[in-house]
Amino acid sequence: MQRFVLLLLLLAAMLPLAADDAVLIVPPGPTTDTFVTLRLNVWCNPIIRHTVTRTGSVIVVEATPQSGTCPSPPFDLPYDVPLGLLPSGQYSVEVRIPFQTFTDSFVVRNAGPGEVEIRPFAVPTSPIGSRVRAVYPFGCAGVNCKDVTIDVGGVAVHAAQIQGSNDGSIFFTPPPHAPGLVDVTITANGTSFTAKNALYYYDRNAEPDPSVWERILFPVLFNSKGAHGSDWVSEAAIHNPGRWFVENFNRIDTLPCIDYGCSDLLSPDGFLSFGGAGYANGVALLVPRSEAPHVAFSLRVRDVARQAEGFGTDVPVVREEDMHRDGIPLTLLDVPLDPRYRTKIRLYAFDDASNFGFVALHKPSNARVTAFTIPMSRSCSGVACAATPWYGEVDLPAGGTDERVNVYVTPGGYGAMTWAFASVTNNETQQVTIVTPDGRGGLPCNPTCPVN
């Protein structure tokens, strides 16, 4: 029995990868233009070598960790496996280490300019109301495009579903299809053009693939009464400037939905403004990565009880590139502790089931003032969890008059995608100033800082 327990302990000590997000794809939405790296989140014994075998779209990594026991406490030892540039496709990854195997999958989008441009990239498996735009060398003849046939993943598009546009492009309704990547072939006057892996069909009821969808964080979408008679509302806006439809995975607005699509289907040049509600702890809009860079957002919080005094405060809508994903604390510089203000830090984390965040306050001289451990939680189920961040908040204690500190915030573990900001509210006027992170930053005196 004693030997058995010893063996179990030894096995546990040799598990070098973190349980959550053991394998990260870097960048999170790779294309044929991006160098792809697999980041293995190692917690115990460092990996000392690896081999990679790629057979078609199956990638197998054999990793060899250093022998020995896990140090106490364990610390992050991320290990990068470079894969390089990959052709477009849907890849599965298997990472094998002694006694454990981790699997993941990801999509590599085609970034190269082809003969046919297809937008948007992602459509649901039952695409009711969806419209896809295609640009190819020959425009179609007339509005009805009688000279054009379209094949999507082996399924012909019904002729009645193909329409010409006044800019030479064509719009068509994609046929239902099983999940995954498909080719699109357009034939006009006997000449065919094929766009490889041009469309990605997704199941609305299945977990969204993070390599296809970017999470765009709206940090606060709420309306509520506050202190000193304040009446807070948030006002959000979304604009799709493209000439094609964009179909998001989810909805975050409060607008009534009478017909299918509603605001998850943004029309060309579509603009949507709405008052936020129901997401006081933040929510992500999942936008197809191929379309996300072009879609514009804005968010503002206002005290409408004092709307004659000001127009409110701009709050960033946070794209993934603005979030951190390496365990380095987010840096909020020059935050006041002056007793005339109340300062709240809000913490957000995706992907990592971390129950705690960490906030440290340092003087400009780097000496630590104090630190807090912050409980983080979320309430969601099923696919909605992909859009729901882990959330925590802390009210900073008032300090001396004009006192300012630098705040270092760690909302989650190494594999988490994190963000944080401070709101500084004047106790009398309710004017809000926000402080957001800029740059990787991090503690200036890692690993040890002087205390006070």
Partner 1 sequence: MQPDVPGELTMRTLTLFLALSLSLFAFAGDTGGVHVLPFGPTTRTPVDVHIPMICGFDGQTVARVGNVFKVTLLSPSCILTIPIPYLHTVRLPGLLEVGEYRVEVFLAGQDNVHGSTTFVVRNAEPKPFEVHPFAVPTFGGGLRLRLTGVACGASCDGVTIQVGGVPATGLERAGNDAIWFQAPERREEGLVDVRVQVGGAVQVSPGALYYFDEPERSVFERILFPVLFATDGANGSRWRSEATLSNPKPWYVENANTLSPVRPCLTYPCGERLDPEKVETYGDGYPRGAVLLVPRPEAPELAFALRIRDISRQAEGLGTQVPVVRESDFSHGTGVTLLDVPVDPRYRVKVRVYMIEPLPQYGQNAQLRLRNTVTRATTLTRTFQLSAGGRNEPHYAELDLPAGAANERVNIHLDLPLDATAWAFATVTNNATQQVTIVTPNGSGLQP
Binding site for partner 1 (CB under 8 A): 33, 35, 80, 85, 235, 237, 239, 241-242, 268-269, 271, 273, 293-298, 300, 308-314, 316-317, 319, 321, 331-334, 336, 340-341, 364, 366, 406, 424, 426, 428-429, 431-446
111 versus 257: smaller Cβ distance to partner 1: 111
390 versus 414: smaller Cβ distance to partner 1: 414
Q: Which two tokens stand for residue 227?
A: 């202190």
98 versus 316: smaller Cβ distance to partner 1: 316
Burial class (CB in 10 A: 0-12, 13-18, 19+), 194: middle
- How many angstroms separate the CA atoms of 302 and 232, rounded? 6
State in angstroms the smallest separation of the CB of 298 from partner 1. Answer: 4
Q: Which two tokens stand for residue 22?
A: 């053991």
State in angstroms the smallest separation of the CB of 264 from partner 1. Answer: 18
186 versus 220: smaller Cβ distance to partner 1: 220
Look up residue 6 and give its amino acid: L
Q: Which two tokens stand for residue 409?
A: 């915030």
State in angstroms the smallest separation of the CB of 366 from partner 1. Answer: 6
Cis check for the bond before 179: say yes or no (omega within 30 of 0): no
State in angstroms the smallest separation of the CB of 317 from partner 1. Answer: 5
State in angstroms the smallest separation of the CB of 216 from partner 1. Answer: 9
State in angstroms the smallest separation of the CB of 385 from partner 1. Answer: 25
SS3 225: strand
Q: CA–CA distance from 69 to each of 2, 20, 49, 313 (Å)? A: 18, 21, 18, 51
201 versus 348: smaller Cβ distance to partner 1: 348
Token look-up 């009398």 returns 428
SS3 263: helix
State in angstroms the smallest separation of the CB of 156 from partner 1. Answer: 32
Look up residue 394 and give its amino acid: V
116 versus 409: smaller Cβ distance to partner 1: 409
State in angstroms the smallest separation of the CB of 197 from partner 1. Answer: 18
State in angstroms the smallest separation of the CB of 444 from partner 1. Answer: 4
* HSE (side-chain half, CA atoms, 13 Å) at 206: 11
